[in-house]
Structure 1
Amino acid sequence: MKGYIGEARKNAGKREAGVLLVLAVIGLVFIFGSWHANKIKATTSEEKHYTEKIQKEKYDPKLKGASKETLQLGKKEKQNSKEKKVTSKVSIKKAQEKQKKTKEKAVGAAVHKKPAGQNQAKTVYLTFDDGPSRVSDGIMDVLKKYQVKATFFMLEPNMLKFQDQVKRMDREGHSQGLHGVSHDAKKIYRSKETVVQEMDQANRALQKITGKRTALIRTPYGSAPYMKPDYQKAVKDKGYELWDWTIDSMDWSYRSPQYVTNSIRQLKKMEHHTEPIVILMHERKETLESLPQLLDYLKKNGYTMKRIEKTMKPVTFRVSKAAS
């Protein structure tokens, strides 16, 4: 009996030891599994933290520990952002300026718009006949003061007498034209040949003095009624351009400041005309004395004073029958 009980106790002890061993193994497995899981979790957390750090460093180069490459990238992106903002501001400013200019142009066009047929250029061509003379220098002094150019139609005898004045006209940029030789209707208009002869003779004198010839001519008393079609054809075939005027100042008749008033009155009537404004004057003392008054009016009212050019289409009609 004692042997049986001892054996049973011995077997029970073995079973308890086996159970304890199994429990110990299970405990170790549980402990190891928990430790491994925590390690994985910690590693994952560190990787996530590291990833977030890298991203923050990329977009915020000021963070402590940011790499040199990340800092340069941030600076570059910031610079690009600033450049985009500046470019945007410049584009907006240019667009605003363009819009402003367009508006100002439209307003200006509306303000300065003139009726159909009006002389848009507002250009006046001042012309002086019968020179050169003792008042030529005075006339040119006034023109120089007002910074304008004019056209002088000269007679051959006067050119030979006042050669210095002819040279000054050329030197200061005025246009020089021919007015013939005799200033006598019975002589110059005797035939179409005599008209051409007087102009050629005057041109030779001009060339002798200045070394230049001219194609601009104005016949004494104007083209009507003396310059008949065959006469006009004759001078044109010789290469001359025949000029008359559209405003007769009548300074040759008034011989006073009244010629200025007369010129202004005719000028106002031509505001809506399209033909060139060519004012006829003469080299007279009275004309010189009141010339500043006429130029003041023209300047004040926006007229530009120019010389006649060879390339222009000539004015070959008259306003008044009475002339030089």
Structure 2
Amino acid sequence: MKCILKKFSYPLVFLVIALILTQTMCEKIVTPSFGKMCTNISLTNQQNIEKKIIYLTFDDGPSVTTNKILDTLKEKDVKATFFLIGNQIVGFEDTVKRIHKEGHSIGLHTYTHKFKRIYNNNDNFIKEMKHCSDEINNITGVNPNIIRFPGGSRKHLNNEFLCRLHDENFKIYDWNLQVSDGINPNLSSNKLFKEATADNDSISPIILLMHCDYMHKNTCKALPEIIDYYKQQGYIFKPITEDTPELYFPPSKRTLKSIWDIMTSK
């Protein structure tokens, strides 16, 4: 290590140490970052932070439950975002049409949702997203470019992959508030409500993760109360669009490692 450090001036050594400390701090961040840049380790680009905005998002549809959620959204006059799985669309084409027709936004949640396949390599991941987009386009005439990583982008997104996804015109949306229906769909509606409304004072805007597969009946039951709560708190409900600032977990430390490798190779 001493031999390596002799190659650099003290200011440069301090810079490397500062970068390492910065990365250590980034790894401790629990909430995701808003951002569009792919050249910075800590990505922040918060917009409309002063406004109380909430994005209701539903993963793993379409299904019979999706239609019930659409009924509630229509009744409450609220728009939301549905991240759909491509191979579940067959038989629910009318549901996909309804999502689009009623002014909600549609996102991509891969074609198969099979982790081993989609995360085997980056090419597979992109193919899955494009396949899902094609299926939606066949029904609605639009090609969505907003995506959500199954399980979230943490551990799967690094700076290089982030830039590649941006080159493919994809925009990434994780979440900063969630209910546990994806882990345990049998949780009571009261428990789901408490999770959906907990610790929200420090978050703005909110991207709330929920699910709408066939087993998420209690999510349907909790949804009206969740919507009423946020209306009473003065929140504006919006669907995610390509103009919505991205929200994704900080990329992995591979970026920092590559900087270290470059510097120590000189």
* TM-score of the pair, normalised by structure 2: 0.71
Q: Is the 8 A contact 2:51 2:205 kept in 1?
A: no
Aligned length: 198
Structure 2 CA distance for aligned equivalents of residues 304 and 205 of structure 1: 31
Structure with bigger helix share is: 1
Q: Is the 8 A contact 1:155 1:181 kept in 2?
A: yes
SS of 1:266's partner is coil
Uncovered stretches (5+) of structure 2, i.e. residues with no partner: 1-46, 251-266
Structure 1 stretches of 4+ with a deviation exceeding 3 A read none
1:153 aligns with 2:87: no
How far apart are residue 120 of structure 1 and its match?
Answer: 2.3
Aligned counterpart, 1:263: 196
Point out which structure has higher relative CO (alpha carbons under 8 A, 6+ apart).
2
How far apart are residue 294 of structure 1 and its match?
Answer: 0.5
One-letter identity of the residue aligned with 1:169: I
1:120 aligns with 2:50: yes
Q: Is the 8 A contact 2:48 2:205 kept in 1?
A: no
1:302 aligns with 2:234: yes
Aligned counterpart, 1:7: none
Q: Is the 8 A contact 1:196 1:234 kept in 2?
A: no
Q: How does 1:164-175 map to 2 (within 5 A)?
A: 164-175=94-105
Aligned counterpart, 2:133: 203
SS of 1:265's partner is coil
Structure 2 CA distance for aligned equivalents of residues 124 and 261 of structure 1: 16
Aligned counterpart, 1:185: 115
Asked which structure has the greater CA Rg, the reply is 1
Q: Is the 8 A contact 1:122 1:302 kept in 2?
A: yes
* TM-score of the pair, normalised by structure 1: 0.58
Structure 1 CA distance for aligned equivalents of residues 160 and 49 of structure 2: 32
One-letter identity of the residue aligned with 1:278: I
How far apart are residue 248 of structure 1 and its match?
Answer: 1.5
How far apart are residue 219 of structure 1 and its match?
Answer: 1.1
RMSD: 1.8
Q: Is the 8 A contact 1:193 1:234 kept in 2?
A: no
Of 89, 102, 124, 1:194 maps to 124
One-letter identity of the residue aligned with 2:227: L
One-letter identity of the residue aligned with 2:196: S
Aligned counterpart, 1:75: none
Aligned counterpart, 1:287: 219
Aligned counterpart, 2:160: 230
How far apart are residue 138 of structure 1 and its match?
Answer: 0.7
Q: Is the 8 A contact 1:276 1:315 kept in 2?
A: no
Of 271, 278, 296, 2:207 maps to 278
Structure 1 CA distance for aligned equivalents of residues 244 and 183 of structure 2: 29
Aligned counterpart, 2:18: none
How far apart are residue 227 of structure 1 and its match?
Answer: 2.1
**Deviations 1:71-91 (Å, cap 9, x if unpaired)?**
xxxxxxxxxxxxxxxxxxxxx
